[in-house]
């Protein structure tokens, strides 16, 4: 079993930056591929970014490419999502997810473990 705890959300203005963190426990972190997803009210959960277990492979949704950066620190059991140039349409609950495989994937059902989410609100 893997436990995931996100932090770093908040209320910001358009153009600001935020860094989300997700700390994992319960399994060797370096064996987990990690992802970030988000869900706005009334919408389905959507893929944001993912990183392989080694950190060498990264994938981004087109909507955040060039603005968001995913990274990980395997020594700290932590995955990060640096969000720059935030837009009102980035407003959502952001969820960290983990899967016990090496490779990066972008689909929600492929992830076995989920955090409780952290809210990001971007005002215009």
Structure confidence at residue 101 (pLDDT): 87
Task: Give the integer Cα–Cα distance in Å for 89 and 55.
Answer: 27
Alpha-carbon distances, residue 50 vs 12, 15, 124 (angstroms): 24, 23, 27
What string of pLDDT tens digits covers the 124 residues of the chain? 999 999 999 999 999 999 999 999 998 999 999 999 999 999 999 999 999 999 999 999 999 999 999 999 999 999 999 999 999 999 999 999 999 988 888 888 899 999 999 999 999 9
Q: What is the dihedral of CA 96, 58, 52, 103, to 10 degrees?
A: 110
């Amino acid at each position: 079993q893997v436990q995931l705890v996100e932090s770093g959300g908040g209320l910001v203005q358009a153009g600001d930056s935020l860094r989300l963190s997700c700390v994992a426990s319960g399994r060797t972190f370096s064996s987990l591929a990690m992802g970030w997803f988000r869900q706005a009210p009334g919408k389905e959960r959507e893929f944001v970014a993912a990183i392989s277990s080694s950190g060498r492979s990264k994938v981004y949704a087109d909507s955040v490419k060039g603005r968001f950066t995913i990274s990980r620190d395997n020594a700290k059991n932590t995955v990060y999502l640096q969000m720059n140039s935030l837009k009102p349409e980035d407003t959502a609950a952001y969820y960290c997810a983990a899967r016990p495989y090496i490779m990066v994937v972008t689909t929600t059902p492929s992830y076995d473990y989920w955090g409780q989410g952290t809210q990001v609100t971007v005002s215009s």
